[in-house]
Amino acid sequence: MVFLVVLVSAAVAGAWPAAAFAATQPALGTALNYTVLSGQTITNTGPSVITGNLGLDPGSSVTGFPPGSVTGTQDVSDAASVLAQNDLVTGYTDAANSPSTSDLTGKDLGGQNLTPGVYSFSSSAQLTGSLTLSGNGVFIFQIGSALTTASNSAVLLVNGAQACAVYWQVGSSATLGSAANFQGNLMALSSITMVTGANLTGRALARNGALTLDTNNITPPSGTCTVATATSTTGSGSTTGGSGSTDGSGTTNASTPGTGSAAPDALLLPGILLLLAGGGTIAVDVRRGHRAR
């Protein structure tokens, strides 16, 4: 009986496509229209440059522009910023609820070379040195409390990795150290602080707290962002999922699955259920045989 359970479990694990567990992009909606979005205040010191739009709600205080500059619009406590904050809550929740593929609790992100997936920290996370993200796909970092990056730290993207497909879900506040070069959609439950000279390619999205800047450059991902889903191989053929894209402003559109996307094959689940049912029948027959003896 034990052997039967192990056999069935192995068959299920081997038959279920790995692509079924691939990371998917959180639905940030209209929050993607903003390079910076905050809930409380936005405060700047020095000649910071925000390329794109600024949003603030429910707070109303934006200070330090000039000397800082915003190339797009500033939406403060209006319908657009309210909607963007609501969409940020949805995207943040999506990221937080994504099934983890690797637990990095207690490890420094510096020196890591990671492929697409969902990486979790039960408490705080640190980045000292360089983090390399490799490959075309979605990267989600689930951080239980604070995210802190050291001075001159960096996030590097190689082999098709894209800033538009990197999501940082931070359970409290995020601090980017002096002269750090960070990439991705940074979503903090509370505040985001960028120390002097820190740069971000992506978005700074603070749900409830303040966004504090000091001589920083924040630029959304540019060009077309095409994110491939994981490849599922069945029999002799293989199929690849669809993609997401960005418009000219760097806004990421929702990804759409292609033919044969990451969902399990239509006949796989019934097959597994039949396998389990068959195993149960065998077990019953074995028990009856023992009783007959």
Question: pLDDT (tens digit, 9 = 90+) per residue, 8-33?
Answer: 344 334 434 444 446 899 999 999 99
Those residues with Cβ within 8 angstroms of residue 102's Cβ, 6 or more apart along the chain or in another chain: 117, 118, 119, 120
pLDDT of residue 291: 55
- Counting DSSP H helices and E strands in the chain, the numbers are 3, 24
Question: pLDDT (tens digit, 9 = 90+) per residue, 32-56?
Answer: 999 999 999 999 999 999 999 999 9
Q: Are 142 and 119 in contact (CB under 8 A)?
A: yes
How many angstroms separate the CA atoms of 73 and 90, rounded?
23
Question: pLDDT (tens digit, 9 = 90+) per residue, 240-284?
Answer: 333 344 433 344 343 333 323 333 333 344 444 444 454 554 444
Residue 183's pLDDT band (cuts 50, 70, 90) = very high
How many angstroms separate the CA atoms of 182 and 200, rounded?
5
Q: What is the DSSP letter of 236?
A: T
Buried b (16+ CB within 10 A) or exposed e, 261-279: bbeebeebeeebeeeeeeb
pLDDT of residue 222: 80
Percent of the chain with pLDDT over 70: 70
pLDDT of residue 193: 98
pLDDT of residue 287: 52
Q: Does the pLDDT value for residue 68 go beyond 90?
A: yes
Which helix (H) or strand (E) element contains residue 44?
strand 41-45
Q: Does the pLDDT value for residue 292 go beyond 90?
A: no
pTM of the predicted model, to two decimals? 0.75
Q: Does the pLDDT value for residue 80 go beyond 90?
A: yes
Q: Are 176 and 203 in contact (CB under 8 A)?
A: no
Q: Does the pLDDT value for residue 202 go beyond 90?
A: yes
How many angstroms separate the CA atoms of 77 and 61, rounded?
10
Task: Using only the alpha carbons of the chain, give its radius of gyration.
Answer: 23
